[in-house]
Amino acid sequence: MNHPAPVSAAPGAPIGIFDSGLGGLSVLRAVRAHLGQEPVIYVADSRYAPYGQRDDDFIADRTLAIGEWLVAQGAKALVVACNTATAQSIEFVRARLPIPLVGVEPGVKPAAALSKSRVAGVLATQVTLRSARFQALVERHANDLRVLSQPGHGLVEAVERCDIGSPELVALLRGYVQPMLDAGADTLVLGCTHYPFLDAAIRSIVGERMTLVDTSVAIARQLERVLDQHGLRSATASSESGGASVRLCSTSDGAHLRALASALLAIEAPVECVQIPSRRTRELEANAA
């Protein structure tokens, strides 16, 4: 299909960052640290999380609707801060939006560079692990690496309710990670943007026996390159008064987004409750009525 005409957004316009829920805050944290002069609009689609249990069409439908909503809010670039949405829909959405997109994918390539035992675990959603994109990533970068793929059932739900360290959560994580340790894995890829918030809980199980691979800093660097390529870097210096503005938006009531942004990123901003209807959510609501 034809690519849409590019938007001539002003460099001072915000970056849109979107995730199925709160996980993209780990990417927002890296973007704030690396590109603190850039204003951001963050959308958590918590009303419809987790995406890991949705069908491919639903994920593509939501990613496009939220991308279009962010374009309408004036976003100059979009970070799809969700491995699941990237895996299923980035090409589809890229072809339909007039702004540059940056996606995220499990850090298989860095894991292949880091692992000494040549065994690495990948924790991600079921949708990400079964995607053609993930399979291609493993084929491209992990030829000589034994990759142990483990769906992290229940982990997104835990972070969505702000549970990042309860005994139940640690027991759930142990069930996923211990078999990897037993198989000799020395590297663990956090293949979902919710999981970096579980790093302390994972450390309490694996100690120093595993290197944890989180790609959020690499995503912030990639975003910087994309902004530079398109002449979209904000001109304002980052050293000024605590960085640029952040708008936090949620399709749910926003209470957990506010709590996690405050606790983990020290962002004290009110959360706007937004409605972003799409074809599939209209169908859901019509069926529920």
Annotated catalytic sites, by residue? 82, 192
Shortest Cβ 193–ligand DGL spacing (Å): 4
Q: Which residue has the tokens 């069930």?
A: 175
Alpha-carbon gap, residue 142 to 86, rounded angstroms = 20
**Contacts for 199-208 with beta carbons within 8 Å, 24 or more apart?**
200/164, 200/165, 201/164, 201/165, 201/169, 201/170, 201/173, 202/173, 202/177, 204/170, 205/170, 205/173, 205/174, 205/177, 205/178, 206/177, 206/181
Nearer to ligand DGL, 86 or 234 (CB): 86
Nearer to ligand DGL, 193 or 252 (CB): 193
Shortest Cβ 66–ligand DGL spacing (Å): 13
Shortest Cβ 124–ligand DGL spacing (Å): 7
**What's the distance, CA 166 to chain centroid?**
23
Nearer to ligand DGL, 83 or 250 (CB): 83
Nearer to ligand DGL, 50 or 110 (CB): 50
Whole-number Cα distances in Å, 222 to 64, 110, 147, 148, 227: 21, 15, 25, 27, 9
Q: Which residue has the tokens 């439908």?
A: 61
Helix ranges, the chain (H): 25-34, 56-72, 83-94, 108-114, 126-130, 132-141, 155-160, 167-182, 199-206, 216-229, 255-265, 279-288
Closest-CA residue to 17 (of 255, 265, 200): 265
The pair of three-digit structure tokens given for residue 89, joined into one six-digit string: 């829909």
Q: Which residues bind ligand DGL (CB under 6 A)?
A: 19-21, 23, 49-52, 82-84, 125, 128, 156, 192-194
Shortest Cβ 159–ligand DGL spacing (Å): 8
Nearer to ligand DGL, 52 or 110 (CB): 52
Closest-CA residue to 16 (of 86, 91, 74): 74
Q: Which residue has the tokens 């799809």?
A: 80
Nearer to ligand DGL, 84 or 187 (CB): 84
